[in-house]
Homo-oligomer: A and B are copies of this chain.
Amino acid sequence: MIPTLEWLPTGVNFLDQTKLPLEETYVLATDYKQVAAVIRDMIVRGAPAIGVSAAMGIAIGIDRSTATSLEALTEEVAVISRTLAETRPTAVNLFWGIDEIRNLYNGLAAKNTPIPEIKSAVVSKARRMYDEDIAACKQMGAHGAALLPKEGTVLTHCNAGALATCGYGTALGVIRAAIERGHKIDVFADETRPYLQGARLTAWELLHDNIPTTVLCDNMAGALMRQGRIQAVIVGADRIAANGDTANKIGTYTVAVLAKEHGIPFYVAAPLSTIDLATAHGDQIPIEQRAAIEVTHSNGKQMTPDGAAIQNPAFDVTPAKYITAIITEHGVLQAPYNQSIQRMAAAAKPELTAV
């Protein structure tokens, strides 16, 4: 089991993903501000992991609060929520994680529940979300495994693995599930510039599980597809719009176009919490722009001359038409996605469709 994050009596313990693969070190966040910093600094990343981290962040904020009145605590919860919400804009799971705890809090506060009882309830809820995240990944694996080839090479981009969730992974969870069911799968991992989540994280966690892994530069996937060396693509998602358009790590769209050109299936694996019914289509998804230094510098050394402008969007949007199927914990969605998503959301989470 890869220990991406863990609720401890002393705080939330995070595997420091900025230090992988060479160092396996941990950061213990003992208050909500530290949890926010851990999310912002990408010590933890990956939409589902960010969602549960945010939930734990609010839970620890409430649990550690010294407020003696519900009014004071409610004001604190607003500040805590805002602090966590401002860490990263694209992954909708962040806001989902915050809302799950805040809605529980609001309900309990409205009923004048005693503060100790509220604290206990929100911590329990955050820990349950952790367990449910892992269970959802396993269910995605169960639903998606049969889509992957019995024998072949599967390309993935970025890290949608145990390290992007509370364990097991979304895209890599489907790969794990296929292998557990006897498929012979090699993984090609795009290194995923500029942050190298593929080279550093995907390779690390797959090799940890003895899954054969080849790392390639992002610009090599096309040539390998043309040579017939890739049989399927599977990626995660940071936000899926109501029509199926999918925001995911920058470069995902390019992989989707390449897959279409070569007749290779392109799968997205994500929990229902990644689907944002309030976002009608992909162009409404805010795309985080990150600092130029991630592109210009490499391990502290400047690689790009002064004076060059820099592009560094953290995500891109893959229109639904490129997506062969979306694998969720409730089953596999197919086009037309605006219909299949509504149907699944109505069945799984009736309250969502009211948005």
Interface of A toward B, CB cutoff 8 Å: 21-22, 157, 188-194, 196, 199-200, 203-204, 207, 212-224, 226, 250-251, 253-254, 257-258, 260-261, 295-296, 298-305, 307-313, 316-317
Given contacts A207-B305, A213-B309, contact A219 B222 (CB under 8 A): no
Q: Which residue of B lies closest to A249 (CB)?
A: B219
- Residues B193 and A303 in contact, CB atoms below 8 Å apart: no
- Residues A218 and B193 in contact, CB atoms below 8 Å apart: yes
- Residues B219 and A218 in contact, CB atoms below 8 Å apart: yes
Looking at the assembled complex, report how far the CB atom of A212 sits from the nearest CB atom of chain B, in whole angstroms: 7
| 16 sample A-B contacts, Cβ–Cβ < 8 Å, listed by A number | A22-B302, A193-B219, A199-B304, A200-B305, A215-B310, A216-B311, A217-B251, A220-B250, A221-B254, A224-B311, A226-B316, A254-B258, A260-B261, A299-B299, A299-B300, A299-B301
A212-B309, A217-B311 known; 4 new pairs, CB 8 Å cut-off, are A204-B305, A215-B309, A217-B312, A223-B253
Looking at the assembled complex, report how far the CB atom of A305 sits from the nearest CB atom of chain B, in whole angstroms: 4
Which of these, B220, B295, B310, contacts A251 with CB under 8 Å?
B220
Chain B residues with CB under 8 Å of A196's CB are 303
Looking at the assembled complex, report how far the CB atom of A86 sits from the nearest CB atom of chain B, in whole angstroms: 24
- Residues B217 and A193 in contact, CB atoms below 8 Å apart: yes
